[in-house]
Amino acid sequence: MSTLTVVGSIAFDAVETQTGKRDRLLGGSAVHFSLASSFFADTRVVGPVGDDFGEEEFAVLHARGVHTADVERVPGGRTFYWAGRYERDVNIRTTLQTDLNVFEHFEPKLSEDSLNAEVLFLGNIQPSLQIAVREQCAGARFTALDSMNLWIDIAHSDLLRAISMVDCVLLNDGEVKQLTDEPNLVRAARAVLDLGPSVVVAKQGEYGAAMFTRAGFFGLPAYPTENVIDPTGAGDSFAGGFVGYLAAHADQGEFSEATLRRALAYGSAVASFNVEAFGTERMQTLTPDEITTRVSELTHITRFEDAPIPLRA
Ligand code: AMP
């Protein structure tokens, strides 16, 4: 199995949606990402937690085979905390609180195993930390990065530097536009490619995702799930499916267009499961067969083939 290291937030999330409210869910960009990528690659998580992070939380990661030796427990510290609320239109999210806690003084120190991973994912966290990890993983064959509006606002130049150091950037489409101050998504994605990466993925929530390379573009709708309970982590589990699938196909020395397209389908499929329950609950029961079924539905439109629409006489 190919190897993948992810650095990002490991969190307790408080989430309010139209269907319910939870005060303390296991979350964070690295957690959602690694549960998703664990279906495709041998995944190691790097990040700090506080004393409040216990065996129960580790067990969720271990059950999916995720390695946690580089999860650093900070004595006397509290785990990163995020609280957010979703409107009836789940594409609209308000951040109610962000407490960096143990992330404030975190200095990533990667073990040999994490440093030697073939693929590196820099999940959403301070860009200065993303840079520190990228510099340590000099030998990675493919590197990707995610970020968010907060860092575009308060750490813009660090984020541009981090982006210039990776092969692939995944952002929400609004963030791609905000980052580049360019209202047209195609031009905005080109501007990100001009910073150095060779792949830009613009995530579009329930509408899917668009992928840009210097050679062209490709778009895929989201898997049409009726059952959106908690959208938190959709972006990270999308990234986990996408980058994880690429990691599993990194032995060819290059990514073909077909591989990149398929990776997008895997990302969409995994993300569609993640939103079907609060926090990481759905990822804990997910099976590889379920993922494969949704990927083939996304790429072959099987339901239409099974039931053609008759024309009127
Ligand atoms: P997503 O819904 O994929 O955009 O990601 C949601 C996850 O991002 C949650 O589990 C949060 O814990 C985490 N998160 C939210 N804000 C931040 C932040 N400023 N830095 C790092 N992680 C964050």
Q: Which of 29, 158, 280 to mutate to test the pocket of ligand 1 (most atoms within 8 A of CB)?
A: 29
Total-model pTM: 0.95
Q: Which atom of ligand 1 is nearest to the CA of 235?
A: 3
Q: How far is CA 223 from CA 144, 229, 296, 300, in A?
A: 23, 15, 11, 12
Q: Report the pLDDT value the prediction gives residue 263, as an integer from 0 to 100.
A: 96
Task: Name the residue at shortest CA distance from atom 6 of ligand 1.
Answer: 233
Q: How many CB atoms lie within 10 A of CB 308?
A: 7
Q: Report the pLDDT value the prediction gives residue 302, as an integer from 0 to 100.
A: 60
Q: Report the pLDDT value the prediction gives residue 303, as an integer from 0 to 100.
A: 65
CA distance 64 to 57: 12
Q: Which atom of ligand 1 is nearest to the CA of 151?
A: 19
Please give the backbone phi and psi of residue 17, each rounded to the nearest 5 degrees, phi first: -125, 180
Task: Name the residue at shortest CA distance from atom 18 of ligand 1.
Answer: 125
Q: pLDDT tens digits for the chain (313 residues)?
A: 999 999 999 999 999 999 899 999 999 999 999 999 999 999 999 999 999 999 999 999 999 999 999 999 999 999 999 999 999 988 899 999 999 999 999 999 899 999 999 999 999 999 999 999 999 999 999 999 999 999 999 999 999 999 999 999 999 999 999 999 999 999 999 999 999 999 999 999 888 999 999 999 999 999 988 889 999 999 999 999 999 999 999 988 899 999 999 999 999 999 999 999 999 999 999 999 999 999 999 887 666 666 777 889 8
Q: Which atom of ligand 1 is nearest to the CA of 239?
A: 3
Tokens of 304: 């239409």
**Cα 42 to middle of ligand 1, angstroms:** 23
Q: Which atom of ligand 1 is nearest to the CA of 234?
A: 3
Strand order across the 93-99 sheet = 20-27, 11-17, 80-86, 93-99
**Cα 124 to middle of ligand 1, angstroms:** 7
Distance of CA 250 to the CA centre of its chain: 18
Q: How far is CA 291 from CA 29, 124, 266, in A?
A: 20, 24, 7
CA distance 225 to 206: 9
**Cα 31 to middle of ligand 1, angstroms:** 10
Q: Which atom of ligand 1 is nearest to the CA of 232?
A: 2
Q: Report the pLDDT value the prediction gives residue 194, as an integer from 0 to 100.
A: 98
**Cα 28 to middle of ligand 1, angstroms:** 5
Q: Report the pLDDT value the prediction gives residue 97, as an integer from 0 to 100.
A: 97
The pocket around ligand 1, CB under 6 angstroms, is made up of: 9, 11, 13, 27-29, 32, 82, 98, 124-125, 150, 232-236
Q: Report the pLDDT value the prediction gives residue 157, as an integer from 0 to 100.
A: 97
Sign of the C-alpha dihedral, residues 253, 200, 232, 276? negative
**Cα 80 to middle of ligand 1, angstroms:** 10
